[in-house]
Each structure stands twice: as C-alpha cells, then as structure tokens.
C-alpha cells in the first residue's frame, strides 16, 4: 500500500512538472524548454525537464508571445507585477466615423392657381402686416387732422374704411388749413399750419357765461417773482390812473432760452398769479404772429407753451425759442 502511494506521488509530481514546463521562443529564434522557477529584474531562470537549472535569460531576449506565456505561468502577484509592464499593447483600431446620410430637401410645390390680393390674409404673418398698416393709416389721419385743424373724428373715420381709407390722409393734407382765431382775431395765414389748440373746460364756473381773458386759474406755485419785475403803482394823471410802461426784451439784447424765462418771468409759471402778475400778461412776438397769455404752462430746452384764451376755452400755444423776436410784459388793458 505504501509502495502504491509512493508511485502515485511520483507520478503526480512528474505530471505537474511536465504541465508547468513549456516552450519559450527568444527573439533570435532560440527555443527554451522548461519551467520558469525564478523571476528577477535581470531575467528568468528555467529548470529543464531533467531537473537541471538553465542560465538566466534576460527579459529583452523574449518575444511578446513568450512574455505573455511567462505572465500566465507566474505564480505570485510579485511575479505578475514584474511581467505585466513588459507586455506591449496592440494598437487599437481607429474608431470609424459615423456616416451621415444627407437626405434631399423637398421644396414645397409652387401654387399653380391664380393668386389675388386676398391671399395676404391667408397667412398669420400677412394678417399682422395688414393690421399694422391699417393702424398706421389711422394714426396718419389723426396727425393730418391736427395739422390741418380738421375734425379728427371725420378724418379718422374715413381712414378706417378698408382699402379706400388710405386716400383720407392724402385728401385732407391736400386741403388748406382751417382758419383759427387767436385773441379774437384771425391768425395769419402762415400760422395756420403750426397752431395746435388743446381745449380745456372753463375753470370752476358751470354757468354759460363766457370766460373773461383775465380769469385767475386755481392752484399754487412756489416760484417768486423777481424784484425787477414788480410793477410800481401807476401814477394818476389828471384824475385818471396811467398804465405802467411795458417791459420789453428784444432779440439781440437777450438770448431767449429756458434760463431766460425761468429767471426773468418766474412769477408767470404760477397757477395762481401773484400781486405783481395779477394785471399783467405776456406778449410774445414771433415769425408766426403775436401771442398774448397769462401763464407759461410748460417749458423745455427748445420751446415753451404759453396759455392763451380762445372763446370759452384755454389753449397751450407751443412757441419755439428760435422763432421769438420780442417778449413784453405789459398791463392787460394796454393796447
């Protein structure tokens, strides 16, 4: 029984040695048959099948196939870590680009039927464009009505007629400007195209009596009046009170701008005039005519708005600075 066990052990040892042994090819074509028994930095030592140890073979002598075989025959992690860096990775194939398939563009078919003007309303974009043009035509009609002093309701109403309304602004702009009245007198012909009235209701009086030109508008204003413009009491001449002399500012002697009116005529910006301005008015002479008013309602860097009275309503007259020739501060009863 012991003899049988010994024979079996020797047979297994021979089989294990034979199985671990292999053939390793060097770069010069030499073949080494044996089992790698020692891995070192200088190379590998083999044991032949007859039990003899062969000389150590350097690493650079092995081919890549032999190095892979040595990695498979390594028994410890240390031996595997020593062989793995020597394996050269095969170059990977370049990834092929994805081929793009260009599909032909199918253009829409052109209409074959006869197109008319109503085709514009078939698309949302055309409808929006027509609405914008429609509104622009009505706005143009309103501006023409203001410029020519025509009834805005009439001009805009005619402009609202589809298709035919485009002729409304053209027709009214071709007409002469309607005559307007300034201070009870017909305005000069060249003043007709520039004057714009903004009607306001009569101040605080609900009766049907006409509003006098010297009515005092309600309100307060903190602007003081300069001492140079305070009127002296009018002296009596032969039992009657004489009117004070007007204060005159002429172009050339003064520069008419916003600073001029804010400093020289600060009291006329008040809604309720002070004692010095109560009986006085401003008369502005320009290239478009003479304008007489009680108050300066608004002023900008290029123009002022003088409040004048027309019939039973007030109107803000826009007067550019470049058109002003003379400014007078005078008594309301003076000619």
pLDDT in tens, 130-172: 899 999 999 999 999 988 888 999 999 999 998 888 898 999 9
Q: Is residue 61 part of a domain?
A: yes
CATH of the domain at 12: 2.30.30.100
Same domain? 289 vs 221: yes
Same domain? 129 vs 44: no
Q: Is residue 107 part of a domain?
A: no
Q: What is the domain range of residue 300?
A: 182-202+212-233+242-331
Contact 54, 47 (CB under 8 A): yes
Same domain? 186 vs 58: no
* pLDDT score recorded for residue 205: 45
Helix (H, G, I), strand (E, B) or coil at 240: strand
Burial class (CB in 10 A: 0-12, 13-18, 19+), 46: buried
* pLDDT score recorded for residue 133: 92
Q: Is residue 95 part of a domain?
A: no
The pLDDT-based confidence of 274 (bands split at 50, 70, 90) is confident
Same domain? 223 vs 319: yes
Domain count, the chain: 3
Please spell the DSSP secondary structure of 118-177, one letter per residue.
Answer: GGGGGSHHHHHHHHHHHHHHHHHHHHHHHHHT--HHHHHHHHTSTTGGGHHHHHHHHSPP
Q: What is the pTM of this model?
A: 0.30
Q: Is residue 324 part of a domain?
A: yes
Same domain? 9 vs 122: no
Same domain? 260 vs 163: no
The pLDDT-based confidence of 193 (bands split at 50, 70, 90) is very low
Q: Is residue 96 part of a domain?
A: no
* pLDDT score recorded for residue 288: 86
Same domain? 77 vs 124: no
Q: Contacts for 311-315 with beta carbons within 8 Å, 24 or more apart?
A: 311/181, 311/210, 312/202, 312/210, 312/211, 313/197, 313/199, 313/200, 313/201, 313/202, 313/211, 314/199, 314/200, 315/197, 315/198, 315/199
The pair of structure tokens assigned to 65 is 């196939």
Instruction: Give the Cα separation of 148 and 175 in Å (integer).
Output: 8
Q: Is residue 263 part of a domain?
A: yes
Same domain? 170 vs 198: no
* pLDDT score recorded for residue 248: 92
Same domain? 19 vs 154: no
* pLDDT score recorded for residue 137: 93
* pLDDT score recorded for residue 142: 93
Helix (H, G, I), strand (E, B) or coil at 78: helix
Instruction: Give the Cα separation of 73 and 253 in Å (integer).
Output: 117
The pair of structure tokens assigned to 11 is 């047979």
Same domain? 70 vs 155: no
Cα 209 to chain centroid, rounded: 53
Q: What is the pLDDT of residues 276-334, one digit of tens each?
A: 888 889 999 998 888 988 889 999 999 999 988 777 778 888 999 999 999 999 988 87
Contact 187, 141 (CB under 8 A): no
The pair of structure tokens assigned to 136 is 């622009």
Q: Is residue 251 part of a domain?
A: yes
Same domain? 322 vs 259: yes
- Give the full edge-to-edge strand order of the sheet including 31-40: 22-25, 31-40, 43-47
Contact 293, 282 (CB under 8 A): yes
Same domain? 152 vs 24: no
**Which of residues 86, 109, 127 is at a domain's end?**
86
Q: Is residue 92 part of a domain?
A: no
């Amino acid at each position: 029984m012991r003899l049988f066990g010994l024979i079996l052990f020797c047979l297994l040892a021979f089989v294990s040695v034979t199985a671990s042994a292999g053939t390793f090819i060097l770069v010069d074509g030499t073949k080494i048959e044996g089992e790698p028994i020692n891995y070192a930095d200088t190379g590998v030592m083999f044991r032949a099948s007859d039990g003899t140890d062969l000389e150590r073979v350097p690493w650079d002598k092995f081919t890549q196939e032999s190095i892979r075989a040595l990695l498979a025959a390594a028994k410890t992690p240390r031996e595997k870590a020593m062989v793995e860096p020597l394996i050269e990775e095969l170059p990977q194939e370049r990834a092929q680009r994805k081929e793009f398939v260009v599909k032909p563009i199918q253009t829409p078919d052109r209409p074959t039927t006869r197109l008319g003007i109503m085709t514009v309303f078939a698309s949302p974009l055309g409808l929006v464009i027509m609405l914008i043009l429609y509104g622009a035509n009505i706005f143009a009609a309103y501006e023409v009505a203001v410029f020519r002093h025509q009834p805005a309701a009439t001009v805009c109403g005619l402009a609202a007629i589809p298709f035919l309304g485009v002729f409304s602004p053209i027709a009214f702009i071709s007409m002469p400007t309607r005559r307007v009245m300034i201070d009870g007198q017909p305005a000069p012909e060249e003043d007709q195209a520039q004057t714009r009235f903004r009607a306001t209701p009569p101040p605080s009086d609900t009766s049907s009596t006409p509003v006098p030109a010297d009515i005092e508008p309600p309100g307060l204003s903190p602007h003081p009046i300069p001492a140079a413009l305070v009127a002296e009491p009018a002296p009596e001449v032969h039992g009657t009170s004489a009117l004070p002399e007007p204060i005159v500012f002429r172009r050339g002697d003064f520069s008419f701008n916003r600073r001029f009116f804010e400093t020289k005529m600060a009291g006329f910006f008040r809604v309720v005039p002070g004692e010095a301005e109560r009986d006085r008015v401003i008369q502005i002479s320009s290239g478009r005519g003479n304008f007489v008013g009680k108050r300066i309602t608004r002023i900008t860097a290029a123009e002022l708005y003088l409040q004048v009275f027309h019939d039973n309503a007030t109107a803000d007259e826009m007067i550019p600075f470049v058109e002003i020739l003379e400014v007078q501060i005078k008594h309301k009863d003076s000619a």
